[in-house]
Amino acid sequence: MTPETLAALTEARAAKRPVVLATRLTDGVQLLLPSDAASPDLNAAALRALDRDENATKEIDGAAWFLHAYAPPVRLVIVGAVHIAQSLVPMAAHLGVSLTVVDPRRSFATEDRFPNVTLMDDWPDEAMDKIAPDARTAIITLTHDPKLDDPALDRALKSEAFYIGSLGSKKTHAARLARLTALGHDEAALARIKGPVGLDIGAITAPEIALSILAEFIVYRRRLGKA
């Protein structure tokens, strides 16, 4: 890899611009895609790789190319700087996601409790408007408090977020769905909310619940672009 290629790749990733590093395996020639200098077939393959978040060797223009997709990290937004969030955040950090914790209650969302994480103390709907969730964003609400969870879920349902989870018992969740219905969300929209959140692994403690939530998150994260 030339210093120029490394610098360009590093710069693209810092700017969260999706790029593919294409390497011709016969001689090591490298291109950063998409690029006007590359063939249409190479550029098309690069866009597919980014869409599917997939690294693969492809036969293109009569040569084997390794396409390494550098998509910006998936974003995980956690609403509620609560006890479970304190377990969830360090575990999620190992998954290579970009983490944001939202909680307007300033005694909860402190840097002491959540070091090295983006903290937002906006009201959840305003925070969500700033975050602008897209198809590579997951949202998990943990507060149990309708006045904090509901505005976040309302905004989440209006977005293309690929995973929406909400902590709470079946009874809490049923009441939550009734309130969101009153806000105008139909059944199909509400089915997007995973509640009770997480895979059923019999989790009891906060770290166990965090693990069950992240396991479910991974199910959806790995399906991205492969529907």
Where does this chain touch other proteins (CB under 8 A) — which range of 8-16, 32-40, 170-178, 188-196? 8-16
C-beta of 170: minimal distance to other proteins in Å?
Answer: 36
- Answer for which of 35, 52, 66, 146 binds other proteins (CB under 8 A) is 66
| Residues in 89-128 that interact with other proteins by CB under 8 A | 94, 96
Where does this chain touch other proteins (CB under 8 A) — which range of 23-31, 119-127, 138-146, 171-179? 23-31
Residue 6 interacting with other proteins (CB under 8 A):
yes
Q: DSSP alpha helices (H): ranges in 102-224?
A: 124-131, 146-157, 170-182, 187-190, 206-221
Tokens of 6: 């490394």
* Contacts with 62 (C-beta within 8 Å, 6 or more apart), sequence order: none
- Answer for which of 22, 38, 42, 69 binds other proteins (CB under 8 A) is 69
Integer Cα distance of 220 and 202 in angstroms: 20
Q: Identify which of residues 108 and 217 has a Cβ nearer to other proteins in the complex.
A: 217
Is the torsion defined by CA of 190, 105, 78, 124 positive or negative? positive
Residue 219 interacting with other proteins (CB under 8 A):
no
C-beta of 134: minimal distance to other proteins in Å?
Answer: 22
Integer Cα distance of 194 and 190 in angstroms: 9
Residue 2 interacting with other proteins (CB under 8 A):
yes
CA angle at 71 for the pair 67 and 76, rounded to the nearest 5°: 145
| Residues in 42-61 that interact with other proteins by CB under 8 A | 54-57
- Answer for which of 23, 43, 137, 141 binds other proteins (CB under 8 A) is 23
Tokens of 41: 């077939």
Query: Which letter does DSSP use for residue 69 in this model?
Result: E
Residue 169 interacting with other proteins (CB under 8 A):
no
- Residue count at the site for other proteins (CB under 8 A)? 20
The residue among 199, 127, 203, 182 whose CA lies nearest residue 159 is 127
Residues found near other proteins in the complex (CB under 8 A): 1-3, 6, 9-10, 13, 23, 25, 27-28, 54-57, 66, 68-69, 94, 96
